[in-house]
Amino acid sequence: MNGVKNYVIIPTYNEADNLDELISQIIALPIKIGVVVVDDNSPDGTGNLAEKWSDMLPDRISAIHRPAKLGLGSAYISGFRRLLEHPDAETILTMDADFSHHPRYIPQMIELSESNQVVIGSRYVPGGGSRNCSWKRIALSKAANGLARFSLGLQANDVTAGFRLYKREVLASINLDQLFSNGYSFLIEMLFLCQRGGWQVGEVPIIFEDRRKGKTKISRQEILRAQYTVLRLLFRRLRKRQSHRAAIPIDN
């Protein structure tokens, strides 16, 4: 994986129906992208597919195999650590494997990273939205976003989005060992830390599409964990209220 500057981390669990097509579309983009698949011992053979891609394109694709389903946040951290070991890695994206985040938006996100250190593929800016999602899921997402933004003073519009780009210096500035959250609440904590660090955040409008194949992995337990994360970070914010605003304004 030498000489590649842009990478995508894709956490997977039972995504064999989607992985081949997703990687094919990523490597066909006009910008050279490397891919790190972090598989949690998927029983459907997703890890084996990732390994085959790595064998075919060792300079572009690599796989991290974990022994069990250990959570979304820890999967991202595994990918972050792998890529921070590569001095050529300058931009590191995260995305889902189910095509809810479409690869076509990646070039625009990379372009925006020239003036922003964090870029979010956002549903909640002009031009963004959701497709094929139930009204209950949309309402839940908007409620979670509103609660996190209000409670934590987050200035981005889509604070629970997993489709993100981080510049290398952002990840290097965060103590990954001290991150508490693991599931989807990890996304809220990461954005909270990015804003407190004064990094500039931009948003690219995307159409979020409900997964094409397979089942959603968001559980009621995960929703409760996210609520707990917001409360924990709110307490942290109130203790150091003077530090909660970004030093550099958000660019939409």
pLDDT digits (tens, 9 = 90+) for 2-38: 679 999 999 999 999 999 999 999 999 999 999 999 9
110 in any annotated domain: yes
pLDDT given at position 16 = 97
Distances (CA, A) of 166 to 20, 134, 174, 227: 25, 30, 11, 24
User: What's the one-letter identity of residue 14?
Assistant: N
* Residue 192 pLDDT exceeds 60: yes
55 in any annotated domain: yes
pLDDT given at position 212 = 54
Range of the domain at 159: 6-243
At residue 126 the predicted structure's pLDDT band, cuts being 50, 70 and 90, is very high
Q: Which whole number is the average pLDDT over 122-130?
A: 95
Digit-coded pLDDT (tens) for 45-83: 999 999 999 999 999 999 999 999 999 999 999 999 999
Residue-wise DSSP of 30-82:
SS-EEEEEEE---TTSHHHHHHHHHHH-TTTEEEEE-SS---HHHHHHHHHHH
1 in any annotated domain: no
252 in any annotated domain: no
* Residue 164 pLDDT exceeds 80: yes
Quote the mean pLDDT of the chain. 88
- The CATH number for 21's domain is 3.90.550.10
Distances (CA, A) of 93 to 11, 90, 129, 161: 11, 10, 20, 12
Could you give the 3-state DSSP secondary structure of residue 177?
A: helix
**6 or 153, greater pLDDT:** 6
pLDDT given at position 243 = 45
At residue 237 the predicted structure's pLDDT band, cuts being 50, 70 and 90, is confident
Q: How far is it, in rounded angstroms, from Cα 98 to Cα 101?
A: 7
Contact yes or no for 91/5 (Cβ under 8 A): yes
27 in any annotated domain: yes
pLDDT given at position 248 = 46
pLDDT given at position 150 = 86
Specify the DSSP element, H or E, that contains 108: helix 106-112
250 in any annotated domain: no
pLDDT given at position 228 = 64
Taking each helix axis from N to C end, the angle separating 72-84 and 185-196, rounded to the nearest 10 degrees, works out to 50
Contact yes or no for 8/95 (Cβ under 8 A): yes
Q: Which residues contact 200 (CB under 8 A, 6 or more apart)?
A: 115, 116, 117, 118, 246, 248, 249, 250, 251
248 in any annotated domain: no
Q: How far is it, in rounded angstroms, from Cα 1 to Cα 110?
A: 19
Q: How far is it, in rounded angstroms, from Cα 88 to Cα 173?
A: 17
Please give the model's pTM, rounded to 2 decimal places.
Answer: 0.86
Q: How many domains does the chain have?
A: 1
249 in any annotated domain: no
